[in-house]
Amino acid sequence: MSDAVIHRLPELVINQIAAGEVIERPASVVKELVENALDAGAGHVQVDLEEGGAKLVRVSDDGVGMVADDLALAFEPHATSKLRDASDLDHIASLGFRGEALASMGSVARCAITTRRRDAQGALRLANEGGRRGDVEEVGAPRGTTVEVRDLFYNTPARRRFLKRPSTELSRCLDVVQRAALGQLGVGFVATHDSRRVFDVEAGMDLLARIRRTFGAELAEALVPVEAEDGSTRVFGFVAPPRFSRRDTARQMWFLNGRSVKDRVLLRCLKEAYRGFLVEGRQPVAFLHLAMDPALVDVNVHPAKAEVRFRDDRRLFGFLVNALRAGVSRTDMATPGEALLQRAAARDGLSLRDRRASHPGQSSFRDGGGLGVPRDSEPFVVREVPGEAPRASAAPRAVPPLVDLPDDAMHAPAAEDRLRGPFLQVARTYLVRALPDGFEVVDQHALHERITYEGLLRDLREGRVEVQRLLVPEVVEVSRSELELLLEHRDALARIGIELDAFGETDVAVHGLPARLRHPDAAGVVRDLADLLARTGKAPDAADVIEEVLHRASCRSSCMAGDALSEDEIRALLERGRELGAADQTCPHARPTRVRFTLDDLERAFHRK
Ligand code: ADP
Ligand code: MG
């Protein structure tokens, strides 16, 4: 007898282990089968599910179908029609390419493929249950291919126990179908669950119509299109206003040549495009297609094929950030007043919906829910309206002088609407003014903060930061290591308007700061800078410095809530806000600078509508 302990695993076990890479849950079955249907050139894909997909996933297409010899190989591991040799891996244009999916499913479920070529008389059927392959039979069926996967993991109970409730598995399956529908324009999709239709898009629907069908009209109507080209690379799609942002990235969708991808470079592009418009920790909503030569990207880096590697990601990054940022700045950043109304209603112990219900005949809710706030999004960021100025006790300070406007600014057509008319200052913080279709409330501090921030940003971009030299250098105490860090980057800091020098062993002397900071707090700037340098450990990048140091400084130096403003000062503040265009709708921390109440909001509040 031998003491040898190594033996070959039976093929079924090998396949079951490999299946773990590809098939984790019903949603992965849906993903692989839908990809196969699309690779077969389907114009219509039908997905039928039972019990969240655990009992049945069936995907039918009207694609090319298979001949008998191909069908006989379909369940074999590493059998594919999509690659011939390694060189094909450089330019993969299909969604699948590893030839693993059907083999994996065959080993962990009861599967059957029914298929009929366009030109064939009849259809063929092949079953594979738990790795045992049957024979190819002739059957009657329409053109195209149907793959059925029943009782997933019936022979691997440990895996089956990991499945969640049917509703959870169903929502994951639907997510896959919806992503495919948003990625594959020109293809129609239908999904059913326990014989009930749960999702559909017609082949003729464009991207916006598909988004509307999937996520509702509220979001679809607020989206702004993005479109740009750089050589053979094209980006197109939609970005949402910052108020639609969420805690997760579930509505941040990138499609690379139709394939849904989750890629770090692409995520960073979006983050960068929304820089300064989102509250910390919030994720923007966007749907973007990237069309590029398959040779410029490697999709063979991840088992689920969700991650990719771009050959020239620096260039792509610059191109995308510019394109996206242009779209983002055109979104409507105003905070709708209706969110405030909802809150006021809640305070009175009655939701508007209840009030509406007590006035039958007046109910006219869109989508039957809420106040048009997008479904399952968080409420808008709206601040409590304080009855008293938060800093009312602080001595009123003079408002910083405002730069002269170009002559024509006052005569621009939009100027009239935004600048004329009386203002009301409430609690020495909020400016209330009438608009042609309602009124708006401006937070003077937030607006001034945004003005200072945008000015700094522009200066830095144009490489001409005006420095205000301090008559008496301000000495700030720091640690030795902080001092070293600051000195190490002294030249880089000088280029962005922060001039400092050593002063003894644990002090720095600040000689100059950007002139835009009207009440500069040198100690605060130095401390924030030291913090940033210690954290990142590299030369300060202008964008980081703005983000983490100067915008805090601009906040500190802006006119604080509580300053009583003269009418001239109010006008000057609003004029400068107008110059910013859409950017004036939030402060750099993404608090709203202005909240708009439309006539519609008012009519709802007073039950006229
Ligand atoms: P891959 O998609 O990586 O090639 P699969 O295991 O998913 O591997 O599929 C194996 C092969 O079976 C495919 O290469 C294709 O030739 C064929 N096939 C699978 N699904 C379909 C379908 N819906 N229509 C036509 N052929 C299909
Ligand atoms: Mg496949």
Residue 34 beta carbon below 6 angstroms from any ligand 1 atom? no
pLDDT at 180: 97
Instruction: Based on the fold, state whether residues 325 and 267 are members of the same structural domain.
Output: yes
Computed over its alpha carbons, how large is the radius of gyration of the chain? 30
More confident site: 404 or 130? 130
Residue 99 beta carbon below 6 angstroms from any ligand 1 atom? yes
pLDDT tens, 83-105? Answer: 766 677 677 777 777 788 999 99
pLDDT at 38: 96
Cα–Cα distance for residue pair 522/532, rounded to 1 Å: 15
pTM value is 0.65
Q: Name the band, by pLDDT with cuts 50, 70 and 90, for residue 190.
A: very high
Least confident window among 275-279, 409-413, 476-480: 409-413
Mean pLDDT of the chain: 79
Query: Probe ligand 1: pick from 22, 67, 81, max atoms within 8 Å of CB?
Result: 81
- Domain assignment present for 392: no
More confident site: 568 or 114? 114
Cα–Cα distance for residue pair 498/486, rounded to 1 Å: 11
Ligand 2 centroid, distance to 32 Cα (angstroms)? 5
3-state percent breakdown (helix, strand, coil) of the chain, nearest 5: 40, 20, 40
Question: Which range marks the domain in which residue 141 is found?
Answer: 11-201
Q: Name the band, by pLDDT with cuts 50, 70 and 90, for residue 413.
A: very low
Instruction: Based on the fold, state whether residues 217 and 269 are members of the same structural domain.
Output: yes
Best CA proximity match to 337, nearest among 597, 590, 593, 594: 597
Residue 276 beta carbon below 6 angstroms from any ligand 1 atom? no
Residue 235 beta carbon below 6 angstroms from any ligand 1 atom? no
Instruction: Based on the fold, state whether residues 174 and 237 are members of the same structural domain.
Output: no
For residue 75, which atom of ligand 1 is closest to its CA? Answer: 6
pLDDT at 560: 56
Ion ligand 2 — residues with CB under 5 Å? 36, 96, 101
Instruction: Based on the fold, state whether residues 344 and 316 are members of the same structural domain.
Output: no
Say whether pLDDT at 406 is over 70: no
Q: How far is CA 173 from CA 157, 198, 249, in A?
A: 21, 11, 17
- Domain assignment present for 125: yes
Q: How far is CA 471 from CA 192, 432, 468, 474, 558, in A?
A: 74, 39, 9, 9, 21
Q: Name the band, by pLDDT with cuts 50, 70 and 90, for residue 384.
A: very low
Helices 26-39 & 101-108 angle (0-180, nearest 10)? 140
Do 226 and 239 meet the contact criterion of CB atoms below 8 Å apart? yes
- Domain assignment present for 317: yes
Q: Name the band, by pLDDT with cuts 50, 70 and 90, for residue 179.
A: very high
Instruction: Based on the fold, state whether residues 212 and 348 are members of the same structural domain.
Output: no
pLDDT tens, 131-141? Answer: 899 999 999 99
> Is the CA virtual torsion 343, 347, 351, 354 positive or negative?
negative
Say whether pLDDT at 364 is over 50: no
pLDDT tens, 429-455? Answer: 888 888 777 888 888 877 877 787 778
Cα–Cα distance for residue pair 285/264, rounded to 1 Å: 16
pLDDT at 395: 33
Least confident window among 3-7, 58-62, 284-288, 584-588: 584-588
Any idea what the Cα angle at residue 411 is, between residues 436 and 419, rounded to 5°?
40
Residue nearest ligand 1's atom 27 by CA: 36
pLDDT at 345: 60
pLDDT at 519: 66
- Domain assignment present for 592: yes
Say whether pLDDT at 372 is over 60: no
Instruction: Based on the fold, state whether residues 426 and 564 are members of the same structural domain.
Output: yes
Cα–Cα distance for residue pair 137/603, rounded to 1 Å: 68
Cα–Cα distance for residue pair 51/195, rounded to 1 Å: 11
Q: How far is CA 224 from CA 16, 39, 287, 584, in A?
A: 46, 31, 10, 18
Residue nearest ligand 1's atom 17 by CA: 74
Residue 61 beta carbon below 6 angstroms from any ligand 1 atom? yes
Largest interatomic CA distance in the chain = 102
Instruction: Based on the fold, state whether residues 219 and 311 are members of the same structural domain.
Output: yes
Residues sharing a CB contact under 8 Å with residue 320, sequence separation 6 or more, in sequence order? 235, 266, 269, 273, 290
pLDDT tens, 483-493? Answer: 888 988 888 88
pLDDT tens, 491-523? Answer: 888 888 889 999 888 899 999 988 877 667 788
Domain count, the chain: 4
Q: How far is CA 593 from CA 334, 449, 571, in A?
A: 8, 9, 15
Count of CB atoms within 10 A of residue 509's CB? Answer: 18
Instruction: Based on the fold, state whether residues 86 and 102 are members of the same structural domain.
Output: yes
CATH classification of the domain holding 233: 3.30.230.10
* Mean pLDDT within 234-245: 93
Instruction: Based on the fold, state whether residues 216 and 192 are members of the same structural domain.
Output: no
* Mean pLDDT within 267-285: 87
Highest mean pLDDT among 195-209, 368-382, 461-475: 195-209
Sequence-ordered strand ranges (E) for 381-461: 423-426, 430-435, 438-443
- Domain assignment present for 395: no
Stated length of the chain: 609
Q: Name the band, by pLDDT with cuts 50, 70 and 90, for residue 368.
A: very low
pLDDT at 1: 55
Say whether pLDDT at 428 is over 80: no
- Domain assignment present for 536: yes
Encoded tokens for 382: 């709206």
Count of CB atoms within 10 A of residue 340's CB? Answer: 19
Instruction: Based on the fold, state whether residues 294 and 364 are members of the same structural domain.
Output: no
Least confident window among 232-236, 305-309, 342-346, 533-537: 342-346
pLDDT tens, 460-469? Answer: 777 788 888 8
Query: Probe ligand 1: pick from 102, 149, 259, max atoms within 8 Å of CB?
Result: 102
* Mean pLDDT within 113-139: 93
Ligand 2 centroid, distance to 64 Cα (angstroms)? 14
Q: Name the band, by pLDDT with cuts 50, 70 and 90, for residue 308.
A: confident
Ligand 1 centroid, distance to 526 Cα (angstroms)? 61
Token look-up 């050139």 returns: 41
- Domain assignment present for 315: yes
More confident site: 39 or 584? 39
Say whether pLDDT at 111 is over 50: yes
Cα–Cα distance for residue pair 273/268, rounded to 1 Å: 8
Cα–Cα distance for residue pair 523/521, rounded to 1 Å: 6
SS3 455: helix
Instruction: Based on the fold, state whether residues 421 and 515 are members of the same structural domain.
Output: yes
pLDDT at 521: 78
- Domain assignment present for 405: no
SS3 71: helix
Do 211 and 179 meet the contact criterion of CB atoms below 8 Å apart? no
